[in-house]
């Protein structure tokens, strides 16, 4: 039986989040510059997105560039930004063919103007697609996101748009950049690291975590399928007992 045949399509995670880690190490193992790993990581993104569409996963969020990544060597950051623009431009046709809607979260104002323009053009062009929403977390930090949400909420309380007594978990979540999306049921991290790395801290509260030693440029849709098979074997209790669920 193939991997995809082992998956129960009625119990798919609606939202899968991925930390794409290991591009630099993959390149180093091959005696190449780090940007070579980033370039090959694009192939993994394409295959993973198409695998998600093939399965019927509705939301896929990829950690593409963190606020901490700005601290990397300037040449690597510049190469990453150029690669981002080129990739979005090149992959727009594939997104349209697969019915994928592009979305982005993070401090997008900090991105170079060229990146922002290409990103917004593709977001607009794919806005009517329904098969899957692909969200790129760019210049993203969960602590930044939560702080930004708290600031906006405080301003609305000050302006009388919401009362302090009306602030609930649901109300606060509506100020996050992921508002309108379900929280991820499954988070995957590649490269063998066992950290969340400031990624979707609020949203991952009850997510199942899956770690694989595979470096991101080697990750393919079959690896996504294996992660979902593992996810479907788990009992998600949300604080209750097994007996309560049965």
User: Where in the sequence numbering do the catalytic residues fall?
Assistant: 21, 69
Is 128 strand, coil or helix? coil
Q: Where are the beta strands (DSSP E) in the chain?
A: 15-19, 59-66, 100-105, 132-140, 186-189, 208-211
Non-local CB neighbours of 137 within 8 Å, separated by 6+ positions: 61, 62, 63, 64, 65, 66, 104, 105, 106, 199, 200
The Cα–Cα gap between 43 and 64 comes to 14
CB 53 within 8 A of CB 100: yes
Output phi, psi for 243, to 5 deg. -65, -35
Query: CA triplet 90, 96, 99: central angle to 5 degrees?
Result: 140
């Amino acid at each position: 039986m193939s991997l995809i045949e082992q998956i129960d399509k009625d119990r798919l995670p609606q939202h899968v989040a991925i930390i794409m880690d290991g591009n630099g190490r993959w390149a180093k193992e091959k005696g190449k510059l780090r940007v070579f790993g980033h370039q090959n990581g694009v192939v993994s993104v394409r295959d993973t997105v198409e695998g998600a569409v093939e399965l019927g996963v509705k939301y896929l969020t990829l950690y593409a560039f963190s606020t901490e990544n700005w601290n990397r060597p300037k040449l690597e950051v510049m190469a990453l930004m150029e690669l981002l623009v080129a990739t979005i431009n090149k992959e727009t046709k594939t997104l349209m063919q697969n019915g994928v809607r592009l979305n982005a979260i993070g401090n997008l104002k900090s991105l170079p103007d060229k990146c922002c323009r290409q990103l917004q053009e593709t977001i607009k062009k794919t806005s009517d697609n329904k098969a899957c929403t692909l969200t790129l977390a760019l210049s993203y930090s969960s602590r930044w996101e939560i702080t930004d949400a708290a600031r906006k909420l405080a301003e609305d309380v000050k302006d009388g748009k919401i009362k302090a007594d009306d602030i609930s978990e649901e109300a606060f979540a509506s100020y996050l950049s992921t508002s309108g999306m379900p929280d991820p049921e499954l988070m995957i991290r590649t490269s063998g690291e066992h950290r969340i790395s400031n990624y979707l801290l609020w949203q991952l509260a009850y997510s199942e975590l899956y770690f694989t030693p595979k470096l991101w440029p080697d990750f393919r849709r079959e690896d996504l399928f294996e992660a979902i098979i593992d996810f479907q074997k788990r009992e998600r209790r949300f604080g209750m007992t097994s007996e309560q669920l049965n």
